[in-house]
């Protein structure tokens, strides 16, 4: 681990020890806010952190919000999977997109 990673890890440890637990949330504009004291799985930029998309799905973020955080390849996969679920499984578009997001979170390699 390099110097910066060590420094960030030390800051995060102090953050966890000093700050009260505060969960991430979406603000009025749909932006993800990860406050000091957020649980480790919400710290997606840290090596031991969780997935950014998983955090958004856990917050029940609207699919339009999640789209802002997806790279083009994952966004294309999401659109295709949602269309299949909508057409073949008979889901509503919203339900198809939510299910596609859930699948995307589970398939971390996509």
Residues 9 and 44 occupy one common structural domain? yes
Burial class (CB in 10 A: 0-12, 13-18, 19+), 38: buried
pLDDT at 105: 86
Residue 16 in any domain: the answer is yes
- Number of domains making up the chain: 2
pLDDT at 27: 92
Local confidence pLDDT in tens for the 110 residues of the chain: 677 778 778 777 776 666 667 899 999 988 999 988 788 888 888 888 888 888 988 888 888 888 888 888 888 998 999 999 999 999 999 899 989 988 988 876 44
Residues 94 and 65 occupy one common structural domain? yes
Distance CA 5, CA 72 (A): 28
pLDDT at 6: 80
Residues 72 and 45 occupy one common structural domain? no
Q: Which domain holds residue 99?
A: 60-110
Residue 55 in any domain: the answer is no
**pTM summary value:** 0.67
Residues 79 and 105 occupy one common structural domain? yes
pLDDT at 82: 92
Burial class (CB in 10 A: 0-12, 13-18, 19+), 107: exposed
Residues 110 and 67 occupy one common structural domain? yes
Distance CA 102, CA 106 (A): 6
């Amino acid at each position: 681990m390099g110097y910066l990673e060590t420094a960030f890890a030390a800051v995060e440890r102090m953050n966890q020890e000093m700050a009260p637990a505060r969960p991430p949330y979406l603000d009025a504009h749909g932006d993800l806010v990860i406050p000091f004291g957020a649980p480790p799985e919400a710290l997606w930029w840290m090596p031991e952190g969780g997935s950014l998309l998983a955090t958004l799905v856990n917050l029940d973020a609207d699919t339009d919000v999640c789209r802002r955080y997806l790279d083009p390849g994952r966004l294309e996969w999401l659109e295709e999977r949602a269309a299949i679920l909508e057409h073949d499984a008979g889901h509503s578009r919203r339900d198809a997109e939510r299910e596609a997001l859930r699948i995307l979170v589970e398939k971390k390699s996509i």
